[in-house]
Amino acid sequence: MKVLVAIKRAVDYNVKVRPNSDGSGVDLNNLKMSINPFCEIAVEEAVRLKEKGAVTEIIVVSLGPQKAQEQVRAALAMGADRGILIKIEETIEIEPLAIAKCLKIVCDEEKPDLVLMGKQSIDGDNNQTGQMLAALARYPQGTFASEVVIDNGSVFVTREIDGGLQTIKLALPAIVTTDLRLNVPRYASLPNIMKAKQKPIREITAEELGVDITSRVSIVSVSAPVGRPEGVKVGSVDELLDKLKNEAKVI
Amino acid sequence: MAILVIAEHDNRNLKTATLNAVAAAQVLGDSIDILVAGFGCKTVATETSRVPGIKRVRLADNKVYANQLAENVAPLIAEIAPEYSHVLMSSTTTGKNIIPRAAALIDVQSISDVITVEAEDIFRRPIYAGNIIATVKSNDVIKLMTIRTTAFNIAASEGGSAAVETLNSIHDFEKSEFIRNDLAISERPELTSAKIVISGGRGMGSSENFGLLEKIADKLGAAVGASRAAVDAGFVPNDMQVGQTGKIVAPELYIAVGISGAIQHLAGMKDSKVIVAINKDPDAPIFQVADYGLVADLFDVMPEIDGKLSEYTS
Ligand SMILES: Cc1cc2nc3c(=O)[nH]c(=O)nc-3n(C[C@H](O)[C@H](O)[C@H](O)COP(=O)(O)OP(=O)(O)OC[C@H]3O[C@@H](n4cnc5c(N)ncnc54)[C@H](O)[C@@H]3O)c2cc1C
Ligand SMILES: Nc1ncnc2c1ncn2[C@@H]1O[C@H](COP(=O)(O)O)[C@@H](O)[C@H]1O
């Protein structure tokens, strides 16, 4: 069984970003970049399935600038077998629909049995690409997965939904998007980081795939959210309850 | 042009989140239809028809829509979307699951988590865990979007009498099958619509200790939430997680107990009207967003709050 994992290069989750000075975009200069955390969980899940013997090959794919090769290498060091980097210019913000169209072409070529993706990229907070790829590739979708069990041509996915958990059964090939509790990603060992340097990464461009990546939704401006007025420290439970009752009037 | 709102329901009752999406639709225009896709859900259609200002309720009642699987509902939305300028659904896990799939089917770029409608084609939405607010302009002919419920009021639910019209299209993708739901049952108000939320973090130490919060919650009619660390540690189930990747809440009062205030947690609660933080570490970042901070050991002060609350609420 072949698994395709789509990963995104994104600002590290510990970094607090700010708008740039003219409010036209987000200032990403010199910030630490990582694999989007949900994508890392997707890679980990693929590697675990391979270790269990359910999967024979793991391909990672990323759309991004040349530098996204670092994230593809990091995924190879975690245990993926080969990489595909679909290059776009660093200044271009590519949207979920265009990304899904590129990934659809990769799916047509590679014919994976399972596609693992993150539920959400923590920069754009879209939560769309997996669902869109599923529509375009005509795959069933299991979003927000906290458990994935492969069973005889199907995959059982436990989904984290608003009211609790939902289990669905999908015929393969299918798309699964990961939630945080699916697993805890491993750190790559030094020998595996060395080995990853020898693993192949195919590089192509979005134009070569023939996908129109023009944005449909343009950013007019960005701003910092309105800050909250400074609060106070209270010295006792009585002071707190008094303020909640008489000042804030919320109890 | 007309606007379509997709109803969220459990085949028996309409989910309140739908009414937040209706409120967003009302900012856009006054010709609003609501799609109710489900199975044995005529009562939902009737309930929906009473929402004031709705032109018609479009009811697709068939077993293929019983569990609102995205594979079946998305093509139904895609089929009728060309009759509308905007298609809205609340930004719940159901909305997030369905809307992007429908958008890709009709080749439009949907917009997630809309917090304000600036113009017919201009919207604002948070990105980077709410650290940035983006103003975006959609160039698509049909605009599909999910609505952040905490950013819009709940539209009125009684007084209207819209016509209910049946849709007979059946879309059965066949490759996905609903197995079961394991839903948390709680007597407390729902996290996303409660007026008061009390959340516990890793500092709570155990599942039993959440009882300290529950006692107070019951006295205040509050919902109980949690940080991801508390969920990961197994103190409470996942549906209680507040944050960037959990639930977004904006109650009148949010009380964070033993929560440090990571950006991912703040993303889910910093639009609350009044924030109280209780933490033994005076430098915890949660104090930066708190209106009232109490530096104390929660195991001392939570029982004290519980004991004294009645003096202040009566
Ligand atoms: C991609 C991604 C998404 C995430 N999404 C979310 C999300 O949606 N929601 C979320 O919450 N987190 C999320 N996180 C996790 C987040 O980064 C933090 O790790 C998490 O919020 C920390 O939870 P916490 O504050 O309970 O724990 P900690 O950071 O460990 O803080 C515990 C706090 O309790 C205090 N404390 C301990 N004992 C006591 C006591 N006896 N009395 C008083 N105070 C005490 C401590 O001083 C400390 O401040 C996400 C992380 C990633 C990478
Ligand atoms: N540029 C990209 N390259 C590869 N995969 C991506 C890219 N952008 C998004 N994805 C995948 O889609 C998921 C959801 O992203 P989003 O829809 O942007 O929230 C991510 O976790 C990735 O798995």
Residue A16 within any structural domain of the chain: yes
Residue A251 within any structural domain of the chain: no
Q: How large is the average pLDDT for residues A147-172?
A: 96
- Alpha carbon of A144: minimum distance to chain B alpha carbons (Å): 8
Please determine, for residue A160, whether its predicted confidence score (pLDDT) is greater than 90: yes
User: How many CA within 13 A on the CB side of residue B123?
Assistant: 27
Q: Residue A241: give its domain's CATH number.
A: 3.40.50.620
What is the tens place of the pLDDT at every residue in A33-81?
A: 999 999 999 999 999 999 999 999 999 999 999 999 999 999 999 999 9
- CA A181 to chain CA mean position, Å: 14
Per-residue pLDDT, B43:
97
- Alpha carbon of A209: minimum distance to chain B alpha carbons (Å): 18
Peptide bond into A200 cis (omega under 30): no
Per-residue pLDDT, B198:
98
The dihedral of CA A242, A244, A248, A250: what is its sign?
negative
What is the tens place of the pLDDT at every residue in B121-151?
A: 999 999 999 999 999 999 999 999 999 999 9
Residue A173 within any structural domain of the chain: yes
**Contact between B301 and A237 (Cβ < 8 Å):** yes
Chain B residues with CB under 8 Å of A128 CB are 100, 103, 110, 112
Residues contacting residue B237 through CB under 8 Å, at least 6 positions apart: A164, B184, B231
Supply A130's token pair: 């997996």
What is the tens place of the pLDDT at every residue in A106-141?
A: 999 999 999 999 999 999 999 999 999 999 999 999
Phi, psi dihedral angles at B136 (to 5 degrees): -125, 150
What's this model's pTM, rounded to 2 decimal places?
0.95
Domain hosting residue A61, numbered range: 2-246
What is the tens place of the pLDDT at every residue in B234-251?
A: 999 989 999 998 999 999
CB proximity B50 to A under 8 Å: no
Give Rg (Cα) of chain A.
21
**Contact between A152 and A29 (Cβ < 8 Å):** no
Q: How far apart are CA B153 and CA B109, in angstroms?
A: 26
State if residue A201 touches ligand 1 by the CB under 6 angstroms criterion.
no
User: Residue B83: helix, strand or coil by DSSP?
Assistant: helix
Q: Please list the residues that pair with B32 across neighbouring strands.
A: B3, B54
Q: How far apart are CA A82 and CA B282, in angstroms?
A: 48
Percentage of chain A exceeding pLDDT 70: 100
Name the least confident of A82-86, A226-230, B152-156. Answer: A226-230
User: What is the domain count for chain A?
Assistant: 1
Q: Which residues of chain B fall below pLDDT 70? A: none
Which of these, A116, A125, A11, lies nearest to A61 by C-alpha position?
A: A116
Unique residue bearing structure tokens 């309409």: B14
Concatenating the DSSP letter of every residue in A52-88 gives TTS-SEEEEEEEE-GGGHHHHHHHHHHT--EEEEEE-
Per-residue pLDDT, A92:
86
Q: How far apart are CA B151 and CA B271, in angstroms?
A: 9
Residues contacting residue A233 through CB under 8 Å, at least 6 positions apart: B282, B287, B292, B293, B294, B295
Residues 70 to 99 of B: which have CB under 8 A from any A CB?
A: 70-71, 74, 92-94, 96-99
According to DSSP, residue A248 is labeled: S
- CA A235 to chain CA mean position, Å: 43
Residue A45 within any structural domain of the chain: yes
Of B104, B127, B311, the CB nearest to A123: B127
